[in-house]
A and B are shown apart, each in its own frame.
Chain A
Amino acid sequence: MAQDIGLSAPVAAAAPHITEAEQARAQYLAAQSRARWQRHLLPLLGAASLLFVWWALVAVFDVKPYVAPSPEVVAMTMMQKSNVLLTNLWPTMIEAISGFALGNLVAIAIAILFVHRKWVEMAFFPIVVLINSIPVVAKAPILVLLLGNGMAPKIAIAAIICFFPTLVNMVRGLEAISPQAMELMHVLSARKWEIFIRLRLPTSIPYLFSALKIAASTSVVGAIVGEWIGSQVGIGALIIQATYNFDSALLYATVITGSAFSVLFFLTIRTLERLCVRWVPHPA
Chain B
Amino acid sequence: MKKVGKTFSANVEALRKMSLAVNVGDFISLLGPSGCGKSTALRLISGLMEPTSGRIVWQGDHGSGSIGVVFQEPTLMPWATVGANVWLPFRIDGQSFRSVSARVHESLRLVGLEDFTDRYPRELSGGMKMRVSIARALVTNPRIILMDEPFAALDEITRFRLNIDLLELKAQIGCTVIFVTHSVFESVFLSDRIAVMTARPGSIIREIPIDEPYPRDERFRTSSTYAAHCRITSEALQESMRSAA
Q: Say if A and B assemble together.
A: no
- Give the A-binding residues of B (Cβ under 8 A): none
**A residues bordering B, Cβ < 8 Å?**
none
